[in-house]
């Protein structure tokens, strides 16, 4: 390959990648949806009626603090300013409830302390359930979560309810410390979709230019699809 060919390929990659990454909004910050709620304020119901045996009344204020965190700008990754309003009925936008132990109650994998399950219609959230456990087993002994722990957990799950995905930055509240269940939401695939399209376009561009042909592109596409399927599992 001569210098001219290398430059042409480099330009091709730049031309494809730059518009692609602007599609993602914040570079490399994964989001389920940029602006999931079509109205404001977002109503929140904190279920203190159906609580598990080890529920602590001090958890309710942790939710309030987590809501205030996001109202004040949160981790700086939202493109809008959320405003919350507490509701008295369970048909609120966001429903928050606690269970005694996630693995036992919901059949979640080990290490899952909470999750957010949004319901989507026409590209917007219409409702989101947040389920949190109040403690976990450490070895054989069960330990209740303290308020600080709960506040971080609620804040993280609320981030999902506001449209954010997981951060790779360990200092970010959206780093998946408390729940590793990446496969919870099929929207994750939508988030990675533009990246996959870009990779395929680059593969076509390069293989076309070098005359490698369809077979290699096909193989590459197959590999991309396999990776995508792995993510979905
Ligand atoms: Zn998470």
CA 92 remoteness from chain centre: 21
- Inside any domain, residue 35: no
Confidence of residue 198 (pLDDT cuts 50, 70, 90): low
Does residue 72 sit in the same domain as residue 18?
no
Strand, helix or coil for residue 16: helix
User: For the domain that residue 133 is a member of, what is the CATH number?
Assistant: 3.40.390.10
- 27 Cβ neighbours under 8 A, 6+ residues apart: 21
CA of 110 to the centre of ligand 1 (A): 14
Record the tokens describing residue 117, joined without a space: 């399950």
What is the pLDDT averaged over residues 20-35?
66
What are the residues facing 132 on neighbouring strands?
98, 114
| Ligand 1 centroid – CA 40 distance (Å) | 23
Q: Say what the pLDDT of residue 177 is.
A: 76
Q: Do 111 and 76 fall into the same domain? A: yes
Q: Is residue 171 part of a domain?
A: yes
Domain match, 223 and 118 both: no
Two structure tokens written together for 203: 């593969």
Q: How far is the CA of 175 from the centre of ligand 1 (A)?
A: 7
Same-domain status, 109 and 152: yes
Measure 102 CA to ligand 1 centroid, in angstroms: 14
User: 156 CA to middle of ligand 1, Å?
Assistant: 6
Q: Are residues 213 and 175 in the same domain?
A: no
Ligand 1 geometric centre to CA of 163 (Å): 11
Q: 54 falls in which pLDDT band (50, 70, 90)?
A: very high
Ligand 1 centroid–CA 162 distance in Å is 12
Same-domain status, 57 and 152: yes
216 C-alpha to center of ligand 1: Å?
36
Residue that is written with structure tokens 């700008």 in the block? 73
Q: CA-CA distance, 100 to 120, in Å (whole number)? A: 27
Kindly state whether residues 8 and 70 are assigned to the same domain.
Answer: no
Assigned domain for 32 exists:
no
In angstroms, how far apart are the furthest CA atoms of the chain? 71
- Residue 10 and residue 104 in one domain: no
Q: How many angstroms separate the CA atoms of 141 and 154, rounded?
A: 23
The least confident of 33-42, 98-107, 139-148, 221-230 is 221-230
Q: E strands along the chain, which residues?
A: 42-46, 84-86, 94-99, 114-121, 124-133, 135-138, 141-144
Question: 11 CA to middle of ligand 1, Å?
Answer: 37
Are 99 and 59 in contact, with CB atoms under 8 Å apart? no
Which of 97, 110, 115, 99 lies closest to 138, judged by CA? 110
Together in a domain, 146 and 121: yes
| Residues with C-beta atoms within 5 A of ion ligand 1 | 176
pLDDT at 225: 53
Alpha carbon distance 232, 49 (integer Å)? 35
User: Which residue segment(s) compose the domain that 120 sits in?
Assistant: 42-182
- 10, 110: one domain: no
Do 60 and 165 sit in the same domain of this protein?
A: yes
Using the predicted structure, report yes or no on whether residue 213 has a pLDDT greater than 60: no
* Winning range, highest mean pLDDT, from 1-10, 16-25, 99-108: 99-108
Instruction: Tell me the residue length of the chain.
Output: 233
Clarify whether residues 178 and 194 are in a common domain: no
Q: Answer yes or no: is pLDDT of 22 > 70.
A: no
Last residue of a domain, one of 164, 182, 200: 182
Count of domains observed in the chain? 2
Lowest mean pLDDT: which of 56-65, 75-84, 139-148, 221-230?
221-230
Asked if residue 33 belongs to a domain, the reply is no
Query: Cβ-count burial of 206 within 10 angstroms (0-12 exposed, 13-18 middle, 19+ buried)?
Result: middle
Residue 37 included in any domain: no
Average pLDDT over residues 216-221: 51
Q: Confirm whether 51 is domain-assigned.
A: yes
């Amino acid at each position: 390959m001569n210098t001219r060919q290398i430059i042409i390929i480099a330009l091709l990659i730049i031309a494809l990648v730059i518009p692609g990454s602007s599609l993602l909004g914040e570079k490399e910050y994964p989001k389920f949806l940029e602006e999931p709620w079509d109205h404001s304020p977002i109503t929140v119901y904190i279920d203190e009626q159906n609580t598990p045996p080890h529920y602590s009344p001090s958890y309710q204020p942790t939710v309030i603090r987590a809501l205030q965190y996001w109202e004040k700008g949160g981790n700086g990754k939202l493109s809008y300013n959320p405003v919350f309003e507490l509701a008295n009925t369970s048909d609120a936008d966001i429903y928050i409830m606690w269970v005694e132990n996630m693995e036992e109650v919901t059949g979640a994998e080990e290490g899952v302390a909470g999750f957010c399950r949004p319901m989507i219609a026409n590209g917007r959230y219409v409702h989101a359930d947040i389920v949190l456990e109040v403690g976990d087993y450490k070895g054989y002994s069960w330990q209740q979560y303290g308020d600080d722990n709960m506040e971080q957990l609620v804040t993280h799950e609320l981030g999902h309810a506001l449209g954010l995905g997981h951060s790779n930055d360990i200092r970010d509240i959206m780093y998946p410390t408390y729940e590793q269940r990446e496969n919870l939401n099929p929207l994750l695939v939508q988030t990675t979709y533009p990246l996959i399209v870009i990779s395929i376009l680059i593969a076509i561009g390069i293989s076309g230019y070098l005359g490698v042909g369809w077979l290699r592109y096909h193989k590459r596409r197959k590999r991309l699809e396999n990776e995508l399927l792995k993510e979905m599992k």
